[in-house]
Structure 1
Amino acid sequence: METVVSPSFRTFWLHARADGYLADMQAAGQMADADDVGFAGSAVAVRTVADPGSVRAAVEIWSRRPLLTGDEAPFDYAVEGEIDLSTGQWCIDESQDSAVQAGMPLPSGAGEYGVRVTAYHEPGEQYRLQIWPSGRRR
């Protein structure tokens, strides 16, 4: 799914609206302030270059961890971590797409997921978020 996000203070979050998600978003955001990407509980925060402005984000759902291959477009960084999507959905509140804001279902259901964030800053700022089941199912 391709979407356009309008970062809030140069950050956007992919998260589940699980119990404690606001604290998870805050913790992930603090990590992203230091390292561009932060993972905490049910959230991953991505610090952007553009502020104000909009950036493109592609969210891909995989059945297993995707490989980074030699034919990838040149990227600035790729960071992996895990989040708990215990609601069986993911959302990005900063998206300009109302369906993405409301929450998108995960085909594998609730559980722990690996997430890779890949940043491309040329020719325009873009992010690729790949999600795959990594742990226990609920």
Structure 2
Amino acid sequence: MAVRLSAVETVVSPSFRTFWLHARADGYLADLQAAGRLADAGDVGFSGSAVAVRTVADPGSVRAAVEIWSRRPLLIGDETPYDYAVEGEIDLSTGQWCIDESQDSAVQAGTPLPGGAGTYGVRVTAYHEPDERYRLQIWPSGRHR
């Protein structure tokens, strides 16, 4: 059974209708660009150490909840129906995740993962009504260092 280990809620100010969750590892800028191009084509893009999320708000801000799980959680209906849910994998080789577009400096600086460095599954769930918000669920999916 999957157990939620931690959760962080933050407000994000998207850059060109996009925000990224990533590891600040070697080559991460190329990963941000590649994930951003994929998100431009289909709402969410995964590349290397980054996941890009395309938003509706521009300009403006959106809420994002980042949850760390012990393993892949079930996708179940919430209090409100979601608009989409997309899954992929990213390499969080630094053992931390960050969102540069967050208004919270601790989230910008990097938040440690309980499982340390490794490959993680990520599910992005979007809710566009009544207010635009996103849930990013992260769990260990592969080799850990």
What's the TM-score once normalised by structure 1's chain length? Answer: 0.98
CA distance in 2, matches of 1:73, 1:108: 30
Give the partner amino acid of 2:81: P
Verify: 1:114 aligned to 2:124, yes or no.
no
Q: CA deviation at 1:42?
A: 0.0
In the alignment of these two chains, the number of paired residues is: 138
Equivalent residue, structure 1, for 2:49? 42
What's the TM-score once normalised by structure 2's chain length? Answer: 0.94
RMSD: 0.8
CA distance in 1, matches of 2:69, 2:23: 17
The C-alpha deviation readout for 1:88-138, integer Å capped at 9, x for no partner, is 000000000000000000000000000000000000000000000000001
CA distance in 2, matches of 1:68, 1:79: 11
Equivalent residue, structure 1, for 2:68? 61
CA distance in 2, matches of 1:130, 1:122: 20
Give the partner amino acid of 2:128: H
SS in 1 for 2:40: helix
SS in 2 for 1:23: helix
SS in 2 for 1:94: coil
Name which of 2, 8, 20 aligns with 2:9.
2
CA distance in 2, matches of 1:133, 1:72: 26
Give the partner amino acid of 2:29: L
CA distance in 2, matches of 1:96, 1:58: 13
CA distance in 1, matches of 2:52, 2:130: 22
CA distance in 2, matches of 1:82, 1:125: 24
CA distance in 2, matches of 1:71, 1:128: 11
Give the partner amino acid of 1:126: R
Q: CA deviation at 1:69?
A: 1.9
CA distance in 2, matches of 1:124, 1:101: 23
Q: CA deviation at 1:71?
A: 4.8
Name which of 120, 124, 129 aligns with 2:131.
124
Identity of aligned residues (%): 89
Name which of 13, 23, 27 aligns with 2:30.
23
Runs of 4+ in 1 over 3 A off after TM superposition: none
Q: CA deviation at 1:73?
A: 2.7
The C-alpha deviation readout for 1:60-107, integer Å capped at 9, x for no partner, is 000100001245630000000000000000000000000000000000
Q: Which runs of 5+ in 1 are unaligned?
A: none
Equivalent residue, structure 2, for 1:80? 87
